[in-house]
Amino acid sequence: MIDQLDKLVQEANETASNAKKESEAAKALAEKVQENIKNNTVEIIESKNPPTTGLKPFKTLWRDISNGKPGILKIWTGTAWESVVPDVESVKKETLDQVNKDIETTKTELNQKVQEAQNQATGQFNEVQEGLQGVSRTISNIENKQGEIDKKVTKFEQDSSGFKTSIETLTKKDTEISSKLNTVELTVEGTKKTISDVQQTTNDLKKTTTDIKEEAGKISTKLEQVEARTVGGENWLINTGPNEKPQTIGMIGGAQVNKAKFAVQPGEYIVLECSDHTDSFYQFHLDNTKMGDFEKSKDMTLSLDLQNDVHVDFILFQFINGVWSENVQKGVPASNVWKREVWTFNIDTRATGWGLRLRFARNTNSIGKRFRFKKTKLEKGSIPTDFSKSTYELEQSVDGVKTTVTNVQNSQVGFEKRMSNVEQTASGLSSTVSNLNNVVSDQGKKLTEANTKLEQQATAIGAKVELKQVEDYVAGFKIPELKQTVNQNKQDLLDELANKLATEQFNQKMTLIDNRFSINEQGINAAAKKTEVYTRIQADGQFAKDSYVRDMESRLQLTEKGVSISVKENDVIAAINMSKENIKLNAARIDLVGKVNAEWIKAGLLSGCQIRTSNTDNYVSLDDQFIRLYERGVARAFLGHYRRSDGAVQPTFILGSDEKTNAPEGTLFMSQAGAGWSGAYASIGISNGIVDGAVQKSVYWELQRNGLSV
């Protein structure tokens, strides 16, 4: 009966213990969820103008509704507002507009050639024309039978400028039309070769054009890209598209911003906000080493679309006799509407270098004001022409090689644009690959923008990978993975589960990844950054008011003086700093698996460890709540809890042995039992052995709470 009662008591104790553990686990999870919600939940600020107070890097979200709702969601990076969602629609519209325009033009030209050939008779023809302007000879072979056309034309032209030779074929059979043209022009400037191939069927049209120019000092090759542009002068600025910072071709010091906040309106224009009126500007270039491909005392024209809250100035800098001069400039009064501003200027014959800036007026009224610009063009001559991008695509010269390859695909599944850019100069090598992908599948909509850049110079190597991804989100958790990892890293599992619970109310997840690697004379730096933004898109397509932002980053720095490693999530940072005399670990929890050998340890708290004070046979052992003193490997003293035969635990001090032995005769026992009970007692005595688990004392003194002394 007593054994059965003891068993029931033991089972009740185990049930109570398990319930306590489950309660503690649930409490820990709930506290972690509340902590995540408190630290990561942010309010989305909706306004036409960007917020200026209370900004926290990768925590502050702004819904820009300057162009109407639902607006564009942006995140504060610490230096500028960056769009969280890639603007695929503007890129898609611009690209498809350009493609459609080029297709219509090509179709019109091809139909005109077919119509002309249909009106010509079958046969061979040799035409020669001579005049003061030059000599030309045309040899034609035309076959026109029952709607099928086969036409070959070879043409030779010569005038005072040079020679031109062209070979053209036109073939029409059933619903297929093919046109090929190969021309060679020889002038005193050099040689130009053009190869064009157009293929048209009932459903498809394909056009490929290659231009090759050979001039003194350089060879330039251009594989035609689709562009919607009007006829005009060559643009001597590059990077003039949406979200790009324009700069002058072949000149240094371009795309620079000074004493101003810089931002972009995705797919539209550049924004500068003056932070210091003394010298706040955007710089297209500033080069005191060369004139570039520009001539002195010849007119040049800069034009751009501008909207300015305050007076701004176009400024021409000229490097004359070793000194910069800014005497030539044009002022533009404030305007709240977009205008095409034009400025024609020329460079002093004494100049050996020059530069261009767009600068805020130098007065306090400029502080906090903005100007916006787009479609910037720098061309030779005094007559401005419609905006067009530079045809600077691939150029081989003494300055280097630059290659750009673009691939655009649009289908029922989605839209994809890929671009690869490689630039090689005497200074080094730069490679950029970008991909914009918008796909709709059974799992939902997924939008991805990825950019990779690699730079290599004589003294440095740099690599950067950026990714933006938007996808439908469900806060699920894979149970098999849960079972596999629960015993491996309980804390990480708790963090991940808490994050899933904290984000279950959201239905869209936006991921921003920024990984960088650099090697230079200062050392090696590597950084991996990931920001997750959780939002809820409501039934009306609007964003909900609240959002959840999770910010994670790891960094590695190696220099000749030491190593630094840091891991950050939100505002919690763990770091290791190592120098020749010091290693510093800073973290909320440090897990060490294996043996640790140390000559000296200084600590505030040691938890969950066993301590042995010496590697010899003479040492002190600290194990859980027990302290033992050993001499020659034998326990000589013990301080801890002694478990009695009835299962009760009592504090005990033993001299001569420990609680694991059979209490050899002559061991001193000092113990206490029943603290807080009316029958509490304490005893001290010399043992004479152990019988049925109870210490037998030959001499002892027992002190009882009721006042008795035995």
Q: How far apart are CA 76 and CA 8, in angstroms?
A: 62
Q: How far apart are CA 97 and CA 118, in angstroms?
A: 32
Q: Which residues pair with 297 in a beta bridge?
A: none
Beta carbons of 97 and 555 less than 8 angstroms apart: no
| pLDDT at site 47 | 81
Number of CB atoms found within 10 A of residue 641's CB: 14
Beta carbons of 257 and 282 less than 8 angstroms apart: yes
Domain boundaries, the chain: 122-223, 237-383, 402-586, 611-704
| Pairing of β 41-47 and β 61-64 | parallel
Closest by CA to 649, choosing from 613, 619, 674, is 674
Residues 400-416 pLDDT 10s: 555 555 555 554 445 55
Number of CB atoms found within 10 A of residue 506's CB: 19
Model's pTM, two decimal places? Answer: 0.35
| pLDDT at site 282 | 96
- Sign of the dihedral defined by the CA atoms of residues 108, 110, 111, 113, in that order: positive
Q: How far apart are CA 421 and CA 412, in angstroms?
A: 28
Between 490-502 and 2-40, two packed helices, what is the crossing angle to 10 degrees? 60
Any idea of the CA torsion for 23, 25, 31, 37, to the nearest 10 degrees?
Answer: -130
Burial 681-708 (b: 16+ CB within 10 A, else e): bbbbbebbeeeeeebebeeeeeeeeeee
Number of CB atoms found within 10 A of residue 571's CB: 9
Select 237-383's CATH number: 1.10.443.10, 1.10.3720.10, 2.60.120.260, 3.40.570.10. Answer: 2.60.120.260
The H-or-E segment that residue 102 falls in is helix 88-118
Q: Which two tokens stand for residue 368?
A: 């906090």
- Sign of the dihedral defined by the CA atoms of residues 582, 587, 593, 597, in that order: positive
| Pairing of β 247-248 and β 414-425 | unpaired
Query: In 54-204, which ranges are E strands?
Result: 61-64, 72-76, 81-83, 123-131, 134-145, 148-159, 162-173, 176-187, 190-200
| pLDDT at site 629 | 92
Closest by CA to 49, choosing from 331, 271, 219, 275, is 271
Chunked into runs of 10 residues, the chain (710 residues) has average pLDDT values of: 55 57 60 61 75 79 75 78 62 57 65 66 72 74 71 73 72 69 68 67 59 55 39 74 85 92 85 94 93 88 95 95 89 94 93 95 95 93 82 48 53 54 60 58 52 63 60 48 46 58 56 67 73 59 57 74 73 72 74 76 76 88 87 88 70 83 76 80 83 74 79
| pLDDT at site 613 | 85
SS3 513: strand
Beta carbons of 281 and 357 less than 8 angstroms apart: yes
Beta carbons of 179 and 152 less than 8 angstroms apart: no
Query: In 295-368, which ranges are E strands?
Result: 300-308, 312-320, 323-332, 335-345, 353-360
**Identity at 687, one-letter amino acid code:** S
Residues 243-281 pLDDT 10s: 789 999 888 999 999 999 998 887 789 999 999 999 999
Q: Which two tokens stand for residue 40?
A: 């990561």
Q: How far apart are CA 65 and CA 35, in angstroms?
A: 32
Beta carbons of 245 and 239 less than 8 angstroms apart: yes
Radius of gyration of the chain (CA): 41
| pLDDT at site 362 | 94
| pLDDT at site 648 | 67
